[in-house]
Chains A and B, each alone.
Chain A
Amino acid sequence: MLDYSLSTLWHNLLAQLSFAPDQPLMFSSGLFWVLFLLFLPVYALVKSKRKQMLMFVTAFSLLCFYKSSGWHLLLMVATGVIDWMLARRIAASASVSVRRLFLILSITCSLGILLAFKYGNFILLNVDVIIGRNFQPLDIVLPVGISFYTFRTISYVVDVYKRKLQPTDSLLEYLFFISFFPCMIAGPIVRATELFPQIRANKPATRSMIYGGLWLILLGVLKKAVVADYVGQYVTIAFGNPVGYSGLELLMALLGYSVQLYCDFSGYSDMAIGIASVMGFRLPINFDFPYRSLNFTEFWRRWHITLSSWLRDYVYISLGGNRHGKARQYLNLMVTMLVGGLWHGAAWTFVIWGACHGLALCVHKACKPWLSRLPEAGWVRFVSWLVTFATITLLWALFRADSLHSALEIYKGVFTRFDIAYLPVFAHVRNTWCIVMVLAFALHFLPQDIWSQFRRRFIRSRWWVKLVALIMVVQLVLQFANADIQPLIYAQF
């Protein structure tokens, strides 16, 4: 029953804009698009006036942050103010020891907050296991995007320390940088060296940027809200009860998770890059068809590029990179990937996942002289791809499972209960799921030229073509939002 009174409307509007920790403001939600539609005309008006633009976008970013994280936004602002002041001190000081002191202070502050919020309970639980005390987990609400903005502030301060970047004198500019709403929830981890020149130049968005942005947004919505959310339902069911499924079903769940994670994360990145592009900002790409990779080194150049380049520049190279011999290089790689694993989540499964990827990178580096002697034949490329993709897919089990035991159950199921005879039955029972999966893989391997052509055609198309595309994408989201996958559990007695 609907109630068209003003008081109901007002109550519901306030409820929508209030802080709701279980309903973060996602780009795939209707609320965000309503807000963005209100945001856009004002932004268009103030875009040419730099200061007003900075104030308006920062205020909107903070509103988005408040909706998802409540008053944790003060924590982000406080971190921002501290880092902004310390970076200025670092730049102003001639003494190396003073500069280093401020750098350590800034990193300790940023990492300390991240540790407390994201890893507090993980640390407590492990201390509990070691010393045998009965610690209770703390009731901590993780501020949305804390891992992303912490890495952004660290890169800023380190770049200032290394004299790669002049610190900004404007606190507003700095707050704009760390709170910039397109990359607030899930990146890309844009750096000050990439964003500050664009803020200062404040160039107007071109037609190609605006409609190229819309193209990316629609693509991102399709990936996130159609493919990832739909495919993910089966993944949740199978990972929720691995002992109840056959090896083939678990392998399908692993393949499904590969697609789900990629579409979820890259879809969200596409939306972020698209929204920034509409606003006239170019953000770095975050995913470059990663499942086409022929080895692990290539995979990390294509997967979550802004994170892997961050880890390379601020962890791997800071540790010495490849400058101190092979053994040290492998150690540095392992440490970097362990940090990368832990960054994704506070659990041992992530640490082991990071370690496995580190090991795979080391093996690839060690075998490189031998691998480079192999012929450039098609079958060599296929085998390289297959080995890389299969290993990556198997390792996702550690990333997705809620415990090591659960991940091991999945491996056990895949390797001991696998029977290809189930495939036709599986394809029959879960036909829509299989079709979505096949389409997702096929589109992933579509040549890049074709994607660029689609994009160019979309940008040049008439307004009604774009409107039809928008309507079709939104309707697809609505159709798939109601398409549930059944666990199909029945008689086992």
Chain B
Amino acid sequence: MKKYRGLIGILASGLLIFVSLSFVPGGIDLGFATLNTPSFAETLFGRPKEVKSDQGTPSPADASGAATPAPTGVKPRQAPMDTTAKTILFFGDSMLEGLGPRLAAYAQENGHTLVNVIWYSSTSEVWGNSTRLKQHLDEVRPNYVFISLGGNELFVSDIKRKRQKYVDTILQQIGDIPYVWIGPPNWKPDTGINDMLQESCRPGCFFLSNGQHFDRAKDGAHPTRKSAAAWCDRICKWVMTQSAHPIRLNPPVAEKGKCRTIMYSPQR
């Protein structure tokens, strides 16, 4: 026993220090850096997760015969369609390059005003850490929001711990404005981004793109322009028929439309 006293003392002291630090949420700010803290406290005293019985994502409308993921949970209660003209803010990552022009055509056709904000290579963390969303919400004053984020976070490990707070921040900033979060078009199985978004969004506000068919561009990740337009068609049909906040999005005659588009370079 005697020989092990030293080692037990070292391990126990280490454990004690890190267990104590785990009660400091969000890490310790040193000014020049943040010391991350372990999750012992959360593991031991975190509230057991309850299964939300009313949460579920309706399956995306399958306009092109694409694979349709099975619906999970109960369908949200759908409000009657709001036929008034909307001011729509659509923000997110580079997937907007494909979705944006087609959504602009929908906006023109249905009398809505659309503003696209593309932040290349962005993630929920990038948006959640920045004030840009707040600025655009204040400036555009939208009454409908589309979000396309998650493509850059397909492979983030332990994603709930790392990204949940940023997703929550984004949703808090949007507040009561009706929104639709468009899930990423997976080219590989993800590590949990779709599940996390599905759990975080209000029922009927998350469009699951994973599992649908996409023709990919040369990079193997982005859908081609044609495939992105078909994707946008499926989203719009779903918004009209199955989302929690249906608005008028009748299919346009034009393939693509024009709208105000703001672009930001990748954050390094």
Contact = CB atoms under 8 A, between A and B. Distances in A.
B10 A214 contact: yes
Contacts of A237: 155
Interface in B1-21: 1, 3-4, 6-15, 17-18
A137 to B, nearest CB: 15
B157 A4 contact: no
Interface stretch (A116-124, A157-165, A204-212, A347-355): A204-212
A30 interface: yes
A489 B40 contact: no
Contacts of A206: 3
A15 B48 contact: yes
A489 to B, nearest CB: 5
A170 interface: no
Contacts of B93: 490
A489 B152 contact: yes
Contacts of A278: 7
A429 B120 CA distance: 14
B177 interface: no
A36 B217 CA distance: 50
B7 A210 contact: yes
Contact of A12 (B44, B154, B162, B268): B44
B41 A2 contact: yes
B38 interface: yes
B162 A244 contact: no
Nearest to B42: A2
Contacts of B154: 240, 487
B254 interface: no
Contact of A41 (B1, B36, B41, B45): B1
A45 interface: yes
Contact of B188 (A12, A233, A240): A240
B246 interface: no
Interface residues of B, number: 56
Contacts of A491: 94, 97, 120
A482 B151 CA distance: 18
Q: How large is the interface on A (under 10, 10 to 19, 20 to 34, 35 or more residues)?
A: 35 or more
A429 B268 contact: yes
A204 B162 contact: no
B14 A475 contact: no
Interface stretch (B196-204, B218-226, B233-241): B218-226
A12 B40 CA distance: 11
Nearest to B265: A490
A36 B7 CA distance: 11
B155 A236 contact: yes
Interface string B244-268: 0000000000000000000000101
Interface string A1-25: 1111000110111011000000000
A10 to B, nearest CB: 10
A37 B15 contact: yes
B219 A489 contact: yes
Interface in A452-493: 463, 466-467, 470-471, 474-475, 478-479, 481-482, 484, 486-493
B222 A493 contact: yes
B156 interface: yes
B121 interface: yes
B53 interface: no
B45 A3 contact: yes
Contacts of B46: 2-3, 8, 12
A214 B3 contact: no
Nearest to B158: A481
Given A8-B45, A467-B13, A41 B8 contact: yes
B56 interface: no
Contacts of B4: 40-41, 43-44, 205, 210
The 4 closest A-B pairs by CB, nearest first: A244-B219, A243-B220, A490-B120, A44-B4
Given A12-B45, A30-B40, A490-B266, 4 more contacts: A240-B188, A474-B18, A475-B36, A489-B219
Interface of B: 1, 3-4, 6-15, 17-18, 35-48, 93-94, 97-98, 120-121, 123, 125, 151-152, 154-158, 162, 187-188, 217-222, 225, 266, 268
Interface of A: 1-4, 8-9, 11-13, 15-16, 30, 33-34, 36-37, 40-41, 43-45, 204-207, 210-211, 214, 229, 233, 236-237, 240-244, 278, 428-429, 463, 466-467, 470-471, 474-475, 478-479, 481-482, 484, 486-493
